[in-house]
Structure 1
Amino acid sequence: MTPALYADTIADLRPLFAELDGTPELFQTFDVHLELAAAGGVMVYETRRARGLTDSLYYGRSVKSGTNQQVSQATAFAAIDRFLALGQFLALSGKPAQDAVVDADYPHCAVRFAYRKKGHPKARSMRMVFIGFNDDADALAYAEKAKDSAAFVTGRPLKGDLAYEWM
């Protein structure tokens, strides 16, 4: 089966992430954890607001050192934003894979994003893992050479126990 492409979802997520980073006061509550694995390292952007209190943590880890190092909010945001600026994305389905489908040569990002804006009647949330590519051709070629195509989302919207699109 042909995997679903997610450039449209990321195109909606990127400005929302920038808005949360730049003007968090527009949000009543949020719980955001983005973990990007790329170029031999991991960058984590984590922030949450509940009951008027905000708690944030931004850190990176290289494969060489294996230790976490705190980074600035701007550094973590820039790394995640560069990933979100890629041209196309595949999403993992959340089903156990028979063989590894994540290749360290391609950036991938775990996204847990829940929020409620001030004045809005309900909260929204998403939990997915995306793999980034330059364009549609790269994404489809990657999925074609993967040994386990069930690991990729093939139908949208995805609503599973472990992974789901905006609810």
Structure 2
Amino acid sequence: MPFADYADYVAELRTLFAELDRDADRFQTFDVRLELAAAGSLVVYETKRRKGQTDSLYYGRAAENGANRQLSQATAFTAIDRFLALGAFVALTGEGDHALDAQYPHCAVNFSYRKKGQPAARSMLMVFVGFNDAADAASYVASADAAALVTGRPYRTAKAYEWK
């Protein structure tokens, strides 16, 4: 079954995410929420700037007890950056019969921003599944519901879309 490889797209996203984390003052506005589910645990990195005010929330939920606990910005960033550094990615459509497989890390990315001096804002909403390499991705795709995977790029629906 064919699937769209998102390694290049995620590499660009990783660079943008690192820039936002290191120097948020380069951005006029942003609304970013990344939710990483890996090994039964959850890490959430959420930050928003509107009208010059920035609000942020970083938390995690361990698989063992299921209780949320606050994380430092650096800890949340490191966990998500590690995911974004994986070797291969597929994207989910939001359609079909797909249950998250705890064997593979998933990251929901809702990223909207406008850099200072840019005439327009950009936004994207995608869920990525990360793999060590293309062979792992192909193995995952072989057992997944075809309707649940993005097979062509650029991808745009009401539930998921690449940069617009």
Which of the five TM-score ranges fits, normalised by the shorter chain? over 0.9
Q: Percent identity?
A: 65
Quick check: 1:162 aligned with 2:153? no
* AA of the residue aligned to 2:110: R
Structure 2 spans left out of the alignment, 5+ residues: none
The 4+ residue runs of structure 1 with deviation greater than 2 A are 97-100
Match of 1:5 in 2: 5
Cα distance in 2 for partners of 1:137, 1:117 equals 37
Query: Equivalent residue for 1:115?
Result: 113
Q: 1:86-125 deviations in whole A, cap 9, x for unaligned?
A: 0010000121x2353x210110000000000000111000
Q: 1:19 corresponds to which residue?
A: 19
Normalised by the length of structure 1, the TM-score is 0.96
Paired letter, 1:163: A
Q: Residue 138 of structure 1: CA displacement?
A: 1.0
Superposed counterparts of 1:113-152, under 5 Å? 113-146=111-144, 148-152=145-149
Counterpart of 2:56? 56
Quick one: distance in 1 between partners of 2:59 and 2:93? 27
CA deviation string 1:30-82 (max 9, x = no partner): 00000000122000000000000000000000122111100100000000000
Report the secondary structure of 2:54's partner residue. strand
State how far apart, in whole Å, the 1-side matches of 2:147 and 2:135 are: 19
Match of 1:85 in 2: 85
